[in-house]
Amino acid sequence: MNFHKTRIIANREYSAAVRSKSFLASLVLFPIIMSGGIIAQKVGQKIGDTTTYHVAVMNCSGNPSLYGVIENAVQYHNQHELTDSSGRQVRGRFVLEQVRPVDWRDTAELDRQRLSLSDRVRAGALLAFVEIGPGVMNPGASTSGDAGTIRYSTNRPTYQDFIALLRSALPPAIVQQRVHIAGAEFERLDPLLRSPSVLQTGLAENSKGKVTYQSGAGQIVNVLVPIILIVLMFMVTFMGTSPMGGNIIEEKQLRIAEVLLGSVTPIELMMGKLLGGVGVSLTLAVIFIGGAYYLAYSTGYSGYVSKQSIGWFFFFMIVGTMLYGSLFVASGAACSTIKEAQSFLMPVMLLIMLPMFMLGPVIQNPSGPLATALSFFPLSAPIIMVLRLTIPPGVPAWQPIASAVLTLAATIGCVWIAGRIFRVGILMQGKGANYAAVFRWILRG
Amino acid sequence: MTRGVGAQILVELLPQATYAIELEDVTKTFGGHTAVDALSLRVPVGSVYGFIGPNGSGKTTTLRMITRIIHPDRGRISVLGKQGYAAANDRVGYLPEERGLYRQMKVIDLLRFHSRLKGHAPQRGEIEQWLARLQLSPWGQQKVEALSKGMSQKVQFIATVIARPQLLLLDEPFSGLDPINAEVMREVLVELVRNGTTVLFSTHDMGVAETLCDWIFMIHKGRKVLDGTLREIQEEHGSDVVRVRLDWANGGDRQLRDLPGVARVSDFGNLQQLRLSAGADHQKLLQALMGRGRVEQFEVARPSLRDIFLQIAGGDEA
CA distance A52 to A72: 17
CA distance B201 to B193: 13
- Determine how many CB atoms are found less than 10 A away from the CB of residue A87: 7
pLDDT at A104: 81
For residue A431, which residues of chain B lie inside 8 Å, CB to CB?
Answer: none
**A431 interface with B at CB cutoff 8 Å:** no
CA distance B277 to B240: 8
Angstroms from A260 CA to nearest CA on chain B:
8
State pTM to two decimals. 0.74
Q: What is the mean pLDDT of residues A166-177?
A: 92
Q: Provide the 8-state DSSP code for B216.
A: E
CA distance A130 to A51: 19
The confidence band for B206, taking pLDDT boundaries of 50, 70 and 90, is confident
Q: DSSP string spanning A211-278?
A: EE---HHHHHHHHHHHHHHHHHHHHHHHHHHTHHHHHHHHHHHTTHHHHHHTTS-HHHHHHHHHHHHH
pLDDT at A407: 95
CB contact under 8 A, A2 and B92: no
In this predicted structure, the answer to whether residue B192 has a pLDDT above a threshold of 60 is yes
For residue B99, which residues of chain A lie inside 8 Å, CB to CB?
Answer: 255, 259
Angle at CA of residue A344, ends A339 and A350, nearest 5°: 115
In this predicted structure, the answer to whether residue B8 has a pLDDT above a threshold of 70 is no
CA distance A396 to A415: 29
pLDDT at B317: 41
CB contact under 8 A, A262 and B100: no
Enter the ipTM. Answer: 0.76
Beta bridge partners, A56, equal A97, A129
In this predicted structure, the answer to whether residue B175 has a pLDDT above a threshold of 50 is yes
pLDDT at B308: 79
Angstroms from B70 CA to nearest CA on chain A:
9
**A254 interface with B at CB cutoff 8 Å:** yes
Average confidence score pLDDT of chain B: 83
Comparing alpha-carbon positions, the chain B residue that sits nearest to A3 is B117
Give the length of chain B.
Answer: 318
For residue A8, which residues of chain B lie inside 8 Å, CB to CB?
Answer: 113, 116-117
DSSP 3-state of A352 = helix
Please give the residue that has the higher pLDDT: either A38 or A254.
Answer: A254
Which residue in the set B89, B104, B169 is minimally distant from A263, CB to CB?
A: B89
Q: What are phi and psi of B176, to 5 degrees?
A: 85, 0
Interface of B with A (CB under 8 A): 64, 67, 69-70, 85-86, 89-90, 92-94, 96, 98-105, 113-114, 116-119, 156, 159-160, 169
Q: What is the mean pLDDT of residues B249-263?
A: 73
CB contact under 8 A, A262 and B94: yes
pLDDT at A98: 94
Please report the beta strands in A161-222, taking only residues with DSSP state E, as ranges in sequence order.
205-207, 210-212
Q: Provide the 8-state DSSP code for A83.
A: B
CB contact under 8 A, A262 and B69: yes
Comparing alpha-carbon positions, the chain A residue that sits nearest to B68 is A262
Angstroms from A265 CA to nearest CA on chain B:
8
Comparing alpha-carbon positions, the chain A residue that sits nearest to B113 is A8
Angstroms from A438 CA to nearest CA on chain B:
15
CA trace torsion A222, A225, A226, A230 (10° rounding): 170
Angstroms from A341 CA to nearest CA on chain B:
21
pLDDT digits (tens, 9 = 90+) for B45-89: 989 999 888 888 888 899 888 988 888 899 999 988 877 655 447
CB contact under 8 A, A261 and B69: yes
CA distance B236 to B225: 12
CB B67 within 8 A of CB A262: yes
**A261 interface with B at CB cutoff 8 Å:** yes
For residue B159, which residues of chain A lie inside 8 Å, CB to CB?
Answer: 259
Please give the residue that has the higher pLDDT: either A86 or A164.
Answer: A164
Proportion of chain A above pLDDT 90, given as a percent: 36
CA distance B82 to B63: 16
**A257 interface with B at CB cutoff 8 Å:** yes
The confidence band for A144, taking pLDDT boundaries of 50, 70 and 90, is low
Least confident interval from A181-195, B130-144, B242-256: B242-256
Choose from A4, A20, A258 for mutation: most chain B CBs within 10 A: A258
Which residue in the set B102, B103, B114 is minimally distant from A263, CB to CB?
A: B114
Which helix (H) or strand (E) segment is B219 a member of?
strand B215-220
Which residue in the set A2, A9, A254 is minimally distant from B86, CB to CB?
A: A2
pLDDT digits (tens, 9 = 90+) for B293-313: 888 899 887 777 777 787 777
CB contact under 8 A, A258 and B100: yes
The confidence band for A219, taking pLDDT boundaries of 50, 70 and 90, is low
For residue B117, which residues of chain A lie inside 8 Å, CB to CB?
Answer: 5, 8-9, 260, 263-264
CB contact under 8 A, B100 and A427: no
CB A93 within 8 A of CB A52: yes
For residue A255, which residues of chain B lie inside 8 Å, CB to CB?
Answer: 96, 98-100
